[in-house]
Chains A and B, each alone.
Chain A
Amino acid sequence: MQDLTRISSAETATAQDGAAILDVRDLRTYFYTDEGVVRAVDGISYSVPPGETLGIVGESGSGKTVAALSLMRLIDDPARIVGGEINFDGRDVVKLSDEELRKIRGGGIAMVFQDPMTSLNPVLNIARQLVETMVVHGRLTEEQALERAIKLLGRMGITAPERAVDSYPHQFSGGMRQRVMLAMGFSNEPQLLIADEPTTALDVTIQAQILELIVELNRDFKTAIVLISHNLGVIASVCSRVVVMYAGEIVEEGPTEKILADPRHPYTWALINAVPRIDRHVPGQRRLVTIDGTPPDPLNMPAGCRFAARCPFRIEKCEQHPELLEIAPGRKSRCWVTQAGGDLPPPETSRGAPAEAKARPDVHHGSETVIKRGERMLELRNVVKHFPLPKTTLFGKQKWVHAINGVSLDIAQGETVGLVGESGCGKSTLARVIARIHEPTAGSVLFHGQDIAHASQAQVRPLRRRMQMVFQDPYASLNPRMTVGDILGEPLRFHEVTHNEKETRERIAELLDVVGLPQKAAARYPHEFSGGQRQRISIARALSVRPDFIIADEPISALDVNIQAQIINLMIDLQERFGLTYLFIAHDLAVVRHISDRVVVLYLGSVMEIAPADTLFAEPLHPYTRYLISAVPIPDATVEAARQRLPLQGEPPSTVDPPSGCPFRTRCPIAQGICAEVMPPVAEVRPNHFVACHFPGQF
């Protein structure tokens, strides 16, 4: 296997064992902007021994991507490396001439980027893009390179690589393209591969495949890997050592399992505790640990510890800037508290909801509605939605996207139903059918007993007050030309929730208060707010007309983990306070497990499994659900090491031409003849546990 993909049997690494192949010393990359100097990377140092896997973790804006790009001097114009050394293979990359730098780029160091959809040149075929990578470094001729390209693609798990090399990028899915990118990265047997969020744009099952591949390649090629991610689970499943970045600095460094088990910097501590875990769920512990505030303004860094303003363990000394010092063998931290020997205790298990909030659900609904928990609120019966594809030719046949193929589902008053599935499974379409943004092709949607499936907008309008929606993209879901006050006030006036300007103003003030925004927000425009704050505005808008049902379409997937936790906590608070019912859509299974009472698994527009959350995650009966759960990386190196991951092969089939019978049969290990002929009905296999499988639980 290895021989196939080796250029020569001789070891290409020139560094002696033990000596680091990459040694970064006090690297500083600044952006010279109109507003001032942004110190994106502000003096970071770390080293990577040959063959090691190092993780760099941090939230957006922490400087981790700029730091990675700086390693090959790939940063663009307003940014400049202003100081430090990047010693690679004994030479300082910062000082290399352009000619020498080119030899390292793609030769000694290779890089895989976040978005595989835009990383490949759309007008060149795969062969050309792979071959030029090898030919430019002068080690192979065109013919040899092509031969090797085919072998590499095969090694990366691409079927029929001989045909694949002649394809163009648009013919490949995201996962396939990332495999091509990896083939490109490994084509010159680099000593170091930098992977910048390589799986962030991919679905969880595809992510598992790619991470698995990276681990194998590290083992087989002895290539050192620097993996950049915001996801601790991803880091835990690949990396042996981890560096945590915050506000342009390294705040903690050490072996992965130790850092995850016992963080020694409050930021790492907050990062770990803000994420719900898929492998454990403590009943009753509904709120996640969050830290207040936002990262410091990069134009105006505080003089002391940069995390101090948000730190729950803050002491007086934090007004001075701490150094990154060794606190234990192999572990470093930039924190006065832990450097002095202090520890960071695990968070209190449960912080109760504000008592006064629980006591008065009537504030929200007035006397109009009496909430009866358990009453059936929404019933979907065989909902189908097909979209016509635009015709490509004048005389072509009309093609359809089969977005939803007969979904039936009940949602009861006061519960939270989680809807999970990979991209393209139809979960967002289903949300929009329920909210009647789209009219379903067939089936019925009963909301409070009234069928709204084919009702006119005028007929639906009165029900709009009871059903609202929160959207995914906090940047696109608020009208940029309206003030927050108008965004919240317009529905109030429209539905005559308030009857004069004074009432409207009071209600807006109340709404802002409920979602935790200051009163002065009403006069501002959406672009003046951060992503998390915008999502709060979005939630306030949904609440404005006092609905009892809220559809949340991936409300947290565009946010950093700490903000995610804040929004989840807010949604839980609101539910307890106002007796809301949620349909919560997400692709993050851990979050769904955390927030949901019941979970629905969707695949290719059909329901695979419905069960109470804990049951579903403890005993999944559908093969797809098992794969899905198994694919989620867990931010715990010990657990991750002990886990046997189920490898789900391949990619979901096209929704334009879905498979006959059970949609999952093409990837199912236990599929038999009947699966191709008959779509299994969604049957109640155990009490409250519904599965659409001919052989439930047999996998």
Chain B
Amino acid sequence: MSVAAETGVTAVDKPKSLWRRNFRRYGLPGFGAAIIVVWILIAAFAPLLTPYAPDLVDVTKRLQPPSQMHWLGTDMLGRDVLTRLFYGARISLFTGIVVVVVAAVFGTLVGGIAAYSRGRIEEVTMRITDLVLCFPPIILALAIAAALGIGAVNTIIAMLVVWWPKFARLARSMIIVQRSQEYVEAAMVVGYSPARILIRHIIPNSVGPLIVLVTLDVGNAIITFAGLSFLGLGVVPPTPEWGSMVAEGRELIEQWWVAAFPGLAILSIVLGFNFMGDGVRDWLDPKSRRW
């Protein structure tokens, strides 16, 4: 038994200033949430925030450095980088959230069914997840996306294929852990059906880690999608997308603004999801206290 448990004390932290503790507890997650909200607002109101159209080509103004007219400069075709950045937020946020949420729901269902059915069905589904997980995710997504052809929808499908197994794994292992808990045994003794035990008892007690993984993973998905776009698989060219914007500017070292700002946008939004995910984890499980 730990010393802390012996005295009924739960916090094992060094005595710290209140300010720093509160910053850790609410500040960073709040900051993360703020970043995400700002980007969502930008994505929603992009047309109102900029006088330019994202695909307005003007070769007379190509590769202009940041100026009052073009705060973040213009690209090879004279398009306003800031405008494209704003519009690009739409597709990044959309794909990141859709991929993770759909994969999480599907994966959890599969994992839940596997854990509950046991036997053959469990064996087969878990072998399938093993198989998908034996490929590095981006490479498999790349192969599938290439087979399906260029396009945002195809890339999302490819990412979904590689994304769901980890949720299935996590859901299954959590359900197996919960299933041997005494409160679940108590529910069995009362006589509830397996479905009711799963929905009323096990899932509410398992969502915590899933929510954490979902939050942290949105950032991951955004980076992966941008990466695939960078490789030319994500979106069809004139569509503004951060990964493909970096790709377009990748050889323009002198005109750094073309590639630097879209990458910075990705960094900020991924940091936002990471801060928020860490906050959610600390909030759900105060003991873990990682970073």
User: Please, which residues of chain B bring their CB within 8 A of the CB of A436?
Assistant: 188
Is the pair A469, B186 in contact by a Cβ cutoff of 8 Å? yes
Cα separation A473 to B183 with both chains bound (whole Å): 9
Binds B, one of A73-81, A559-567, A629-637, A691-699: A73-81
User: Please, which residues of chain A bring their CB within 8 A of the CB of B12?
Assistant: 76-78
Closest to B194 in A: A457
Given contacts A65-B1, A66-B7, contact A34 B13 (CB under 8 A): yes
Does any Cβ of A come within 8 Å of B15's Cβ? Answer: yes
Given contacts A437-B188, A469-B186, A473-B182, contact A66 B6 (CB under 8 A): yes
- Name the contact of B205 in the complex, choosing from A461, A465, A473, A481 (C-beta under 8 A): A481
Is the pair B6, A65 in contact by a Cβ cutoff of 8 Å? yes
Within residues 187 to 232 of chain B, which ones have a CB less than 8 A from any CB in chain A?
A: 187-194, 200-201, 204-205
- Name the contact of A468 in the complex, choosing from B10, B189, B205 (C-beta under 8 A): B189
Does any Cβ of A come within 8 Å of B181's Cβ? Answer: yes
Does any Cβ of B come within 8 Å of A171's Cβ? Answer: no
Is the pair A61, B7 in contact by a Cβ cutoff of 8 Å? yes
Given contacts A66-B3, A469-B185, A479-B205, contact A34 B11 (CB under 8 A): yes
Does any Cβ of B come within 8 Å of A617's Cβ? Answer: no
Does any Cβ of B come within 8 Å of A32's Cβ? Answer: yes
User: Please, which residues of chain B bring their CB within 8 A of the CB of A197?
Assistant: 1
Given contacts A34-B11, A69-B3, A77-B12, contact A479 B191 (CB under 8 A): no
Is the pair A480, B190 in contact by a Cβ cutoff of 8 Å? no
Chain A's nearest CB lies how many Å from the CB of B1? 6
Given contacts A31-B9, A34-B11, A479-B205, contact A541 B191 (CB under 8 A): no
Does any Cβ of A come within 8 Å of B136's Cβ? Answer: no
User: Please, which residues of chain A bring their CB within 8 A of the CB of B9?
Assistant: 31, 33, 38, 40, 78, 298
Does any Cβ of B come within 8 Å of A340's Cβ? Answer: no
Q: Is the interface of A mostly helix, strand, loop or mixed?
A: loop
Within residues 1 to 41 of chain B, which ones have a CB less than 8 A from any CB in chain A?
A: 1, 3-4, 6-15, 21
Cα separation A195 to B193 with both chains bound (whole Å): 48
User: Please, which residues of chain B bring their CB within 8 A of the CB of A78?
Assistant: 4, 9, 11-15
User: Please, which residues of chain B bring their CB within 8 A of the CB of A40?
Assistant: 6-7, 9
Within residues 364 to 384 of chain A, which ones have a CB less than 8 A from any CB in chain B?
A: none
Is the pair B13, A476 in contact by a Cβ cutoff of 8 Å? no
Cα separation A66 to B1 with both chains bound (whole Å): 11
Cα separation A61 to B188 with both chains bound (whole Å): 34
Interface centre among A460, A465, A471 (most CB of B within 10 A): A471
Is the pair B185, A471 in contact by a Cβ cutoff of 8 Å? yes
Cα separation A691 to B201 with both chains bound (whole Å): 43
Question: Mask for A472-485, Cβ within 8 A of B = 1, else 0?
Answer: 11001111110000
Cα separation A381 to B132 with both chains bound (whole Å): 48
Binds B, one of A136-144, A489-497, A592-600: A489-497
User: Please, which residues of chain A bring their CB within 8 A of the CB of B15?
Assistant: 32-33, 78
Cα separation A436 to B21 with both chains bound (whole Å): 49
Within residues 26 to 75 of chain A, which ones have a CB less than 8 A from any CB in chain B?
A: 31-35, 38, 40, 60-61, 63, 65-66, 69, 75
Cα separation A495 to B187 with both chains bound (whole Å): 12
User: Please, which residues of chain B bring their CB within 8 A of the CB of A114?
Assistant: 1
Cα separation A444 to B182 with both chains bound (whole Å): 24
Chain A's nearest CB lies how many Å from the CB of B228? 36
Is the pair B14, A472 in contact by a Cβ cutoff of 8 Å? no
Is the pair B185, A460 in contact by a Cβ cutoff of 8 Å? no
Within residues 635 to 678 of chain A, which ones have a CB less than 8 A from any CB in chain B?
A: none
Is the pair B183, A31 in contact by a Cβ cutoff of 8 Å? no
Does any Cβ of B come within 8 Å of A151's Cβ? Answer: no
Does any Cβ of B come within 8 Å of A435's Cβ? Answer: yes
Closest to A479 in B: B183
Cα separation A468 to B10 with both chains bound (whole Å): 33
Is the pair A464, B189 in contact by a Cβ cutoff of 8 Å? yes
Given contacts A471-B186, A479-B205, contact A61 B193 (CB under 8 A): no
Does any Cβ of B come within 8 Å of A545's Cβ? Answer: yes
Does any Cβ of B come within 8 Å of A25's Cβ? Answer: no
Question: Mask for A326-358, Cβ within 8 A of B = 1, else 0?
Answer: 000000000000000000000000000000000
Closest to B202 in A: A479
Closest to B193 in A: A457
Does any Cβ of B come within 8 Å of A432's Cβ? Answer: yes
Cα separation A437 to B188 with both chains bound (whole Å): 6
User: Please, which residues of chain A bring their CB within 8 A of the CB of B10?
Assistant: 33
Given contacts A77-B14, A78-B15, A437-B188, contact A478 B3 (CB under 8 A): no
Given contacts A472-B182, A476-B183, contact A435 B11 (CB under 8 A): no
Cα separation A35 to B11 with both chains bound (whole Å): 9
Is the pair B183, A298 in contact by a Cβ cutoff of 8 Å? no
Is the pair A60, B186 in contact by a Cβ cutoff of 8 Å? no
Within residues 90 to 128 of chain B, which ones have a CB less than 8 A from any CB in chain A?
A: none
Chain A's nearest CB lies how many Å from the CB of B180? 10
Cα separation A463 to B253 with both chains bound (whole Å): 77
Closest to B191 in A: A464
Cα separation A495 to B13 with both chains bound (whole Å): 46
Closest to A70 in B: B3
Cα separation A471 to B184 with both chains bound (whole Å): 11
Cα separation A594 to B54 with both chains bound (whole Å): 83
- Name the contact of B190 in the complex, choosing from A31, A61, A464 (C-beta under 8 A): A464
Is the pair B189, A476 in contact by a Cβ cutoff of 8 Å? no
Cα separation A473 to B184 with both chains bound (whole Å): 12
Given contacts A464-B189, A494-B190, A494-B192, contact A31 B7 (CB under 8 A): yes
Is the pair B3, A65 in contact by a Cβ cutoff of 8 Å? yes
Interface centre among B1, B186, B192 (most CB of A within 10 A): B186
Is the pair B8, A298 in contact by a Cβ cutoff of 8 Å? yes
Closest to A468 in B: B189
Cα separation A33 to B191 with both chains bound (whole Å): 43
Chain A's nearest CB lies how many Å from the CB of B90? 36
Is the pair A476, B181 in contact by a Cβ cutoff of 8 Å? yes
User: Please, which residues of chain A bring their CB within 8 A of the CB of B186?
Assistant: 469, 471, 477-478, 538, 541
Cα separation A428 to B204 with both chains bound (whole Å): 27
Is the pair B189, A477 in contact by a Cβ cutoff of 8 Å? no
- Name the contact of A491 in the complex, choosing from B6, B190, B194, B205 (C-beta under 8 A): B190
Interface centre among A35, A40, A75, A436 (most CB of B within 10 A): A40
Q: List 16 A-B contacts (CB under 8 A).
A: A34-B11, A35-B11, A38-B8, A66-B3, A78-B11, A78-B13, A79-B3, A437-B185, A457-B194, A461-B191, A464-B189, A469-B186, A471-B182, A477-B186, A479-B205, A538-B186
6 new A-B contacts, CB < 8 A, other than A40-B6, A479-B204, are A33-B9, A38-B9, A63-B6, A65-B3, A65-B6, A476-B183
* A interface residues, Cβ below 8 angstroms from B: 31-35, 38, 40, 60-61, 63, 65-66, 69, 75-79, 114-115, 197, 298, 432, 435-437, 457, 460-461, 464-465, 467-469, 471-473, 476-481, 490-491, 494-495, 538, 541, 545
* B interface residues, Cβ below 8 angstroms from A: 1, 3-4, 6-15, 21, 181-183, 185-194, 200-201, 204-205
Closest 6 pairs (CB-CB, A-B): A464-B191, A477-B182, A471-B182, A461-B191, A40-B7, A32-B15
